[in-house]
Chains A and B, each alone.
Chain A
Amino acid sequence: MMPDTILIALIPIIPFLCFLLLGLTGKKLGAFSGLLGTASMAVSAGFAALTAYQYFFHVGKIDGVFQKMVVFNYHWLQFTPEISINMGMLLDPISVMMLVVVTFVSLMVHIYSLGYMKGEERFSVFYSFLSLFTFSMLGLVLSANLFQTYIFWELVGVSSFLLIGFYYTKPSAVSASKKAFIVTRFADLGFLIGILILGFNAKTLDFGLLIERLIHVESPYLQTAIASSFMGVSALTWGLLLIFVGGAGKSAMFPLHVWLPDAMEGPTPVSALIHAATMVVAGVFLVARLFPIFILSCPVALDVVAYVGIFSSLFAAIIACTQTDIKRVLAYSTMSQIGYMMFALGVSGYEGEAGLGYMGSMFHLFTHAMFKALLFLGAGSVIHYIHSNEMKDMGGLRKAMPITHITFLIACLAIAGIPPFAGFFSKEEILAAAFHKNPVIFYVGLITAAMTAFYMFRLYFSIFWNKPTPSAGHDHHHHGEGPFTMMLPLFILALCSISVGFIPFGQFVTADGQFLANEFHPMFSIAPVSLALGGIFLAMLFYKNANELPAKLAVSMSVLYASAYRKFYIDEVYLFVTKRLIFNLLGRPAAWFDRTIVDGLMNLIGGLTSGFAEMIRGLQSGKVQSYAIWFFAGVLGFAVLFIYLW
């Protein structure tokens, strides 16, 4: 029995049609375009939920194992005789889960934006871009082959570019969008070459076949992929690592993370959707998609994933403690949480109990989407009220914005991993997986968890406490909450942040498709939870009421503080490499060489030719006298020659 193809196809197609409609006729639709976009997104989300229900409870499981199902396949392009591209839709636990996450968060953001973006001049353009993004992201998760993933990968990138640069008259937004696109493009170069390597080794790009051919030891494809090597590393490892580079670019892993904080220039709902809940986890999704190859054929590459993940996680957490722009704090926390998902994959095994890390990673992806979207939307309503992103402009807002306050607190508790909120459960699984596999990663993960609690509550206290409640002098008198359309998503997402942790995730999404019990060990939870509580307590001490402590601490750790505040100077390194090295050492010389040497040579040839013509032109002057002179001179010359030679 197969799931309903048309139903699934409509999930991405509806946003695409909406994009076309709003893109072409948006101006005439005006404010109505928001409603149209939201309504179509709701339909799409409904279909996604229906598909998930069908898949998980009716058709997906055969003999106790969730199957990969290609529900649609269209022969799109024949490259070589062996490699052809079939556009298809692949259903398996992770793609179905992502369908739900993407459509759900997108719907929340669509609703939220009705209020947040109201009165915006390019309101309909905003909604058409949102639709484009949703379409691309859905296409990405449904991809049935690696090439199709790459196609939608790029489309996701460009819609992110368009939305970051939505306020295009702001130079900072323009340069942030450029930066995001170029950094991820650089990573995509790795992805592309990785695709070429894997594709030509396995002679296919279809996920099913690709994985099939590259995981069995006796498979000739795998043997050649391991046998052929470059610089001492096998082709398979190269391929997987390069694909991971692509994933690391989108998922903002160190050192390709530099675009993410700047991407906060985009409208806040966009940050919630793209740069928190969906697009930035595409890298995690990609590694999860190819997970069997990583774990069964190339554990080395998986170790790289683990170490990059844990390092990024800690690195971002340190920076997050020092930032003062609330969206940037959230951006670094996103990076840190994605690092969590990455290392969870990295420490995971494949079958049965060993696959805990994989399950935890996907679980964390799911819960993180809920509470991080909530955090961003909450921050959005704060920004909507205060008109600033800076912490110093905020404080004491809990009275003015009660709903935002409570929902934000819930999200903070969830991300900090306090039971019974969602983040607690998924983090537990991840830490448990790390504990069994790699103690170093486990302890670093634990420290990161404590820091997460600290910086999230630093954020929370700085926004909602710290200063006394603003007096009535503020220009928005009554209270600072936005319209109902902004509150509804906060409310729904808060409910999710409380409840989704109780989903028995191991029943649905596991590495090998089989049932995995979510075991809960109270003893194990003691350490992470108490560390998180410690972090919260520390933050309360520092930031609940305005005091001197944070400043003193910053002074006493000035070197660390300053470099963390400056994001460890990674941006400066990039600037140096691009501006100084690439522009000055490659671009400028190339342009100069072209105009001076190459073109100069052409001009020289032209000049010589015309010069020569100029020289001999006088010979045919048409003047009889000069001909006569040359004639007599010639006669004279010959006469002299004759006389002297004979």
Chain B
Amino acid sequence: MNLTLLLLVPLSTALGIILLRDVKHIRLMAAIGSICQLGLAIKLLLAYQTARLLGDTSQMLFQFKYAWYPSLGIQWHFGVDGISIAMILLTAIVVVAGILFSWKMSFQGKEFFLLLVLLSMGAYGFFISLDLFSLFFFLELAVIPKYLLIAIWGSGKKEYSATKLALMLMGGSALVLVGFLGMYEYAGKTFDMLQLAQAHLPLEVQKLLFPFVFMGFGVFTAIFPFHTWAPDGHSSAPTAASMFLAGISMKLGGYGALRMAVYLMPEAAQYYSPLIIILASIAILYGAFATMMQKDLKYINAYSSVSHCGFVILGIGMLTRTSVTGAVLQMFSHGLMTALFFAAIGMLYERSHTRQIGELGGLMKTMPFISCVMFIAGLCSLGLPGFSGFVAEMTVFMGSWENADTFHRVATIIACASIVVTAVYILRALGASLLGPIKNEHFNHLADATWNEKIASALLIVSIMALGFAPFWLNNLITPDATLIIHALGK
């Protein structure tokens, strides 16, 4: 299968959007493009599995190489493995849902949908790139539209939030770039990931570069203490941007940290692993406790994302096959469920014009569908079996427990303890905003979800449950590649 298609579809969608005038046509174009892309992602998944079944054992499949700037060793080099396919699938699902949720966007609709499509293109490019230079290029492509999306279509103190988010993410990518250039230099002038993996950088170099790459990507996945862009950014962003931010951007970070930091610098990963675990444990529990005190639904979800992405970092830091698999599962699961949660919050906010849980209340009565969606997102977030969050968390816990010493055990128990705190804040948020008596007279006249919102919610819920009920398909997809990463550690 030709991976370039994954870039061509968003690109032609973007061109189409530029050419069209009427917002109705534009959104249709965006929807069709994103649905084609979802189809393509599913086709890719099937093609990949078929190839594996037929005995293709090469690390990256469907490779495509084109020397872009030969004198500097820069090239387009695409290829996918199970982990990147999982991420591509996640992106495709979130993009379709995000576009459907923005169906009513009328203000500057053309630019809005254009930016969404460009953002998604950046993500696709990032996940298929095997060349660090092009990967960086796509990473930036995924950041810049976010600034505009928040600054133009946002709410609240949107300029501040947009600037903060853009600057912090840019800072993160600057760190990443330093790390990349260092690797390029020491590995003999190549940006090619597969060659870098074989290059075996000296330990001293790895120790020097690892923090740059890991923390740089860590900023994207809201690693403590560089997570503060998330609450502000999410709270100001329009619904679709929040969904993309949590569902896609934060995953760029996790994927990058795993692939570019841990896989390419395995010895340093082992060296820094205790530090990573400490940061992750802090993020998990501290994020959860901080969430408990939030009053704005979006802040609640943003802080809980910090806590949940802590599981991704923890899984990566624990460096066992199962924990790394769990980290990828958690990325997938978190992407879907946070997107769903933000979507539900967006639907509520659009109608009730408030996100303060103190002002909401009793919405289950007037908006049963939206409330159910939010309940499902919440239950998934608190790790209820049957939904994806449970499977991912359990895999991380199991993988973490494999490390038998006291330090790792304590970190695992701390992570496990968060399931209680999560239950506290999720139920508090759901209870206060959806249940109880109706707080405000005008809530009685609010309408429930429209058809586009119903379809988008159903898409996300079905995906969440598909993973929750039958985790083996994704697990089997990821595990071989997680094994490969762990093997690089010499374990």
Residues of A near any B CB (own CB < 8 A) = 75-81, 83, 147, 150-152, 154-155, 158, 165, 168-171, 174-175, 178, 181-182, 185-186, 188-189, 192-193, 196, 199-200, 583, 586-588, 590-591, 593-594, 598-599, 601-603, 606
Name the residue in B294, B322, B398 with the highest tally of chain A Cβ atoms < 10 Å from its Cβ.
B398
A431–B407 alpha-carbon span in the complex (Å): 46
Name the residue in A75, A181, A185 with the highest tally of chain B Cβ atoms < 10 Å from its Cβ.
A185
Contact flags B143-182 to A (C-beta < 8 A → 1, else 0): 0000000000000000000011001100000000000000
Question: Chain A residue with minimal CB distance to B479?
Answer: A78
Do B431 and A178 touch across chains, with their CB atoms under 8 A apart?
A: yes
Do B420 and A185 touch across chains, with their CB atoms under 8 A apart?
A: yes
Do B420 and A76 touch across chains, with their CB atoms under 8 A apart?
A: no
Given A185-B420, A196-B398, A77 and B391 touching (CB < 8 A)?
yes
B365 interface contact, C-beta 8 A: yes
Do A192 and B385 touch across chains, with their CB atoms under 8 A apart?
A: no
B412 interface contact, C-beta 8 A: yes
Do B379 and A189 touch across chains, with their CB atoms under 8 A apart?
A: no
CB distance from B278 to the nearest CB of A (A): 16
Given A171-B436, A178-B427, A154 and B385 touching (CB < 8 A)?
yes
For A76, give its contact among B228, B436, B471, B479 (CB under 8 Å).
B471
Cβ–Cβ < 8 Å partners of B420 in chain A: 182, 185-186, 189
B97 interface contact, C-beta 8 A: no
Do A79 and B395 touch across chains, with their CB atoms under 8 A apart?
A: yes
Given A77-B475, A168-B364, A196 and B401 touching (CB < 8 A)?
yes
A147–B393 alpha-carbon span in the complex (Å): 13
Do A175 and B431 touch across chains, with their CB atoms under 8 A apart?
A: yes
For A192, give its contact among B225, B290, B391, B397 (CB under 8 Å).
B397
Do B416 and A169 touch across chains, with their CB atoms under 8 A apart?
A: no
For A169, give its contact among B303, B362, B399, B479 (CB under 8 Å).
B362
For A189, give its contact among B167, B386, B417, B435 (CB under 8 Å).
B417
Contact flags B366-384 to A (C-beta < 8 A → 1, else 0): 0000000000000100011
Cβ–Cβ < 8 Å partners of A174 in chain B: 431, 435-436
B437 interface contact, C-beta 8 A: yes
Do A587 and B435 touch across chains, with their CB atoms under 8 A apart?
A: no
Do B416 and A189 touch across chains, with their CB atoms under 8 A apart?
A: yes
A273–B71 alpha-carbon span in the complex (Å): 75
Question: Chain A residue with minimal CB distance to B167?
Answer: A606
Cβ–Cβ < 8 Å partners of B320 in chain A: 80
Do B384 and A78 touch across chains, with their CB atoms under 8 A apart?
A: no
A165–B431 alpha-carbon span in the complex (Å): 10
Do A200 and B402 touch across chains, with their CB atoms under 8 A apart?
A: yes
Given A193-B416, A196-B412, A606-B167, A594 and B228 touching (CB < 8 A)?
yes
28 contacts between A and B (CB under 8 A): A77-B471, A79-B394, A80-B320, A80-B398, A80-B399, A81-B321, A83-B398, A151-B390, A155-B385, A158-B384, A165-B435, A174-B431, A175-B431, A181-B423, A182-B420, A189-B416, A189-B420, A200-B401, A586-B289, A587-B290, A587-B292, A588-B293, A591-B289, A594-B228, A594-B286, A598-B228, A602-B229, A606-B167
Cβ–Cβ < 8 Å partners of B364 in chain A: 168
B413 interface contact, C-beta 8 A: yes
For B390, give its contact among A154, A186, A189 (CB under 8 Å).
A154
Do B419 and A189 touch across chains, with their CB atoms under 8 A apart?
A: yes
A170–B286 alpha-carbon span in the complex (Å): 32
Name the residue in B293, B294, B320, B476 with the highest tally of chain A Cβ atoms < 10 Å from its Cβ.
B293
Cβ–Cβ < 8 Å partners of B397 in chain A: 192, 196
A599–B235 alpha-carbon span in the complex (Å): 15
For B225, give its contact among A158, A601, A603, A606 (CB under 8 Å).
A601
Question: Chain A residue with minimal CB distance to B431?
Answer: A174
Do A168 and B435 touch across chains, with their CB atoms under 8 A apart?
A: yes
B428 interface contact, C-beta 8 A: yes
Q: With contacts A154-B390, A169-B362, A602-B168 known, what are 10 further pairs, Cβ within 8 A?
A: A81-B321, A83-B398, A181-B427, A188-B419, A192-B416, A196-B398, A586-B289, A586-B292, A587-B292, A606-B167
Cβ–Cβ < 8 Å partners of B290 in chain A: 587, 590-591, 593-594
Interface residues of B in 387-415 (CB under 8 A from A): 390-391, 394-395, 397-399, 401-402, 404, 412-413
Contact flags B449-463 to A (C-beta < 8 A → 1, else 0): 000000000000000
B424 interface contact, C-beta 8 A: yes
A595–B416 alpha-carbon span in the complex (Å): 25
CB distance from B281 to the nearest CB of A (A): 14
A590–B379 alpha-carbon span in the complex (Å): 24
Cβ–Cβ < 8 Å partners of A192 in chain B: 397, 416, 419
B472 interface contact, C-beta 8 A: yes
Which 7 A-B residue pairs are closest in the complex by CB-CB distance?
Answer: A591-B293, A590-B289, A151-B385, A587-B292, A599-B228, A79-B398, A168-B435
Cβ–Cβ < 8 Å partners of B438 in chain A: 169
Cβ–Cβ < 8 Å partners of A78 in chain B: 472, 475-476, 479
Do A155 and B286 touch across chains, with their CB atoms under 8 A apart?
A: no
Interface residues of B in 291-315 (CB under 8 A from A): 292-294, 303
A164–B291 alpha-carbon span in the complex (Å): 25
Cβ–Cβ < 8 Å partners of B226 in chain A: 602
A435–B394 alpha-carbon span in the complex (Å): 43
Do B435 and A185 touch across chains, with their CB atoms under 8 A apart?
A: no
A586–B401 alpha-carbon span in the complex (Å): 26
A165–B364 alpha-carbon span in the complex (Å): 12
CB distance from A159 to the nearest CB of B (A): 11
Question: Chain A residue with minimal CB distance to B226?
Answer: A602
Do A171 and B437 touch across chains, with their CB atoms under 8 A apart?
A: yes
Do B228 and A602 touch across chains, with their CB atoms under 8 A apart?
A: yes
Cβ–Cβ < 8 Å partners of A193 in chain B: 413, 416
Do A606 and B475 touch across chains, with their CB atoms under 8 A apart?
A: no
Do A169 and B436 touch across chains, with their CB atoms under 8 A apart?
A: yes
Cβ–Cβ < 8 Å partners of A587 in chain B: 289-290, 292-293
Name the residue in B167, B385, B434 with the highest tally of chain A Cβ atoms < 10 Å from its Cβ.
B385
A602–B412 alpha-carbon span in the complex (Å): 29
Cβ–Cβ < 8 Å partners of B434 in chain A: 168
A445–B318 alpha-carbon span in the complex (Å): 49
A174–B390 alpha-carbon span in the complex (Å): 24
A165–B385 alpha-carbon span in the complex (Å): 20
A478–B225 alpha-carbon span in the complex (Å): 71
Cβ–Cβ < 8 Å partners of B383 in chain A: 154
Cβ–Cβ < 8 Å partners of A77 in chain B: 391, 395, 471-472, 475
CB distance from B323 to the nearest CB of A (A): 10
A79–B402 alpha-carbon span in the complex (Å): 10
Cβ–Cβ < 8 Å partners of B294 in chain A: 591
Do B427 and A182 touch across chains, with their CB atoms under 8 A apart?
A: yes
Do A75 and B436 touch across chains, with their CB atoms under 8 A apart?
A: no
A154–B294 alpha-carbon span in the complex (Å): 26
Name the residue in B168, B294, B394 with the highest tally of chain A Cβ atoms < 10 Å from its Cβ.
B394
Question: Chain B residue with minimal CB distance to A171?
Answer: B436
A437–B401 alpha-carbon span in the complex (Å): 38
Cβ–Cβ < 8 Å partners of B228 in chain A: 594, 598-599, 602
A122–B308 alpha-carbon span in the complex (Å): 34
Cβ–Cβ < 8 Å partners of A196 in chain B: 397-398, 401, 412, 416
CB distance from A35 to the nearest CB of B (A): 23
Given A165-B435, A168-B364, A175-B431, A76 and B293 touching (CB < 8 A)?
no
A360–B208 alpha-carbon span in the complex (Å): 67
CB distance from B406 to the nearest CB of A (A): 8
Cβ–Cβ < 8 Å partners of A598 in chain B: 224-225, 227-228
